[in-house]
Structure formats: structure tokens, C-alpha cells
Amino acid sequence: MERPSALSALEQQVKARPLPRHVGIIMDGNGRWAEIRGVPRLEGHREGSASVREVTRTARRVGVSALTLYAFSSQNWARPADEVAGLMELLREYLQSERSEILDNGIRLNAIGEVDKLPRYVREPLDRLRVDSAHNQGMVLTLALSYGGREELIHATRQIAQAVVAGELDPARIGEKDIESHLWTQGLPPLDLMVRTSGEFRVSNFLLWQMAYAELYFADVLWPDFRTEAFLRSLAHYQQRERRFGLTSTQLQREDTQRAKA
């Protein structure tokens, strides 16, 4: 861990450069963190909740517009029943304990996925906090719950098919905007940075459409240990990359020169 002065300098450096508008995080490694320490897996998830809190605070403080956290995937329902029940209880505790902080700091809580599959004791505090924070103008914190990227695309495809059958949409004119308007992330900024922790190099069915032009960052840190410094380093790494969107470096430099003259 860096000294506080060095950490503060890193934060100031990050704040002084262009930030990603939308950051998505695959929070991986809670189970391995627990196994290494010989404690129940649920303790790893509990410690991971502390990382959620710290990373959210840091993202809001430096000025990230949208933060999307992969909290529970569609495939996670297949885990042992006691682990799923423990995860749901931790989620309920998080929604209750963070309610004041979210509301007091102007954060808007959002949720994506097949949220109706969540138990009522989770859905109720989730829905209340979404409604109560709906008019907040600060960072959008999105929890991906019972979420899968393929499931999202299937959902969007079904809605588009229904619009075609109803005569509301010409199939020959379907474009990117039509698809994006039916995604669960509709209304969020384009995904600029996707972070995965724990040293794994896969995207695990997360924001498959959205990451088309996102920068990918893989951290060799288990999620419970991924705190302010690690998050700031992911942002600093993003800031060192050239975002070309299919153009060449020369074209980008020409565009920058033209904007500077305008």
C-alpha cells in the first residue's frame, strides 16, 4: 500500500486527465480470497462488499459518471443453495446500510438484469432505493443482478421481433440505435472501461454488446483486496491508452488539431 501522500497524488493525477465516463467491473475472487484464509466463502463475499463501498466512493469522488458492478450473474443461481441465500442476504444488507450514503451523495441507483427473479426481501429495498434516488444528478451506480450479456441480447431481440410483428419497425431498417434502445443499459453512457479482478482473462457474459469499443483492464488482485489504490491505477492505465474507434493515430491527431483551431 502506498503512503497516503502518494495515494493522494495518484488521485489528483487521475482527476486531472480525461476520465472514462462509464466503468464496468467484474468483481471476481471473493471465494478464492476466503479459501486462502481458510474461512467460509461467504466471508469473502462480505469482505467484497467493503470493496464495493470503497470503489463506489472513489469513483464518485474523482468524477466517474457511471459505475456498473457485476454483482450476481444469471449463472450464479446454479451455485450451492446456501451460498446463493447468503449472497442475497448480503445484498439486502448492502441496500439497507448504503441507503443514506447513496441518497446523501446524489448517487442514482440503477439495476439491470432479470431483477424479478430476486427474492422479495431483496427486491423491495432495491425498488425503494431506485425510486428514492431517481432524481439524483450525481454518479449512476448500476448493479447487474441476475444479469447475463447473452440473456440481455435475447431480451432485446424478442422485443424487437414483437415490434416488427406489430408493424412498428421495418426489419430492413433495424440499426444499432434500435438494439441499444432495448438493452437493459439504455440511457447509460457508452462503456469506456471494463475491469476484471483476480487475474482471470475472460469477460464472463458481462456487457457483451456494450464492450465493443471498451478498453479492457485485468487486475491480478482478488476483489476483496481491490480498493482505492487498485481502482485508481485502473483509471490511470486507461488514461494512457489512445482511443481510436477504428481510426488511425494520424487521423486522431488531425481531428485534435482541427478542434483546437475551431
* Active-site amino acid positions: 28, 76
What b/e sequence results for 70-104 when a residue is b if at least 16 CB atoms lie within 10 Å of its CB, and e otherwise?
bbbbbebeebeeeeeebbbbbbbebbeebbeebee
Beta bridge partners of 67: 23, 141
Q: What is the DSSP letter of 99?
A: H
The span from the first CA to the last CA of the chain, in angstroms, equals 44
Which are the contacts of 76, defined by CB distance < 8 A and separation ≥ 6?
84, 87, 146
For residue 73, the Cα-to-chain-centroid distance in whole angstroms is 12
Beta bridge partners of 23: 67, 193
- Going across the sheet that includes 108-112, the strands are 108-112, 140-147, 66-73, 22-26, 193-196, 215-218
What b/e sequence results for 153-162 when a residue is b if at least 16 CB atoms lie within 10 Å of its CB, and e otherwise?
eebbeebbee
State which amino acid sits at residue 216.
Answer: L
The three-class DSSP label of residue 21 is: coil
Q: Which of 8, 33, 21 minimizes the C-alpha distance to 222?
A: 33
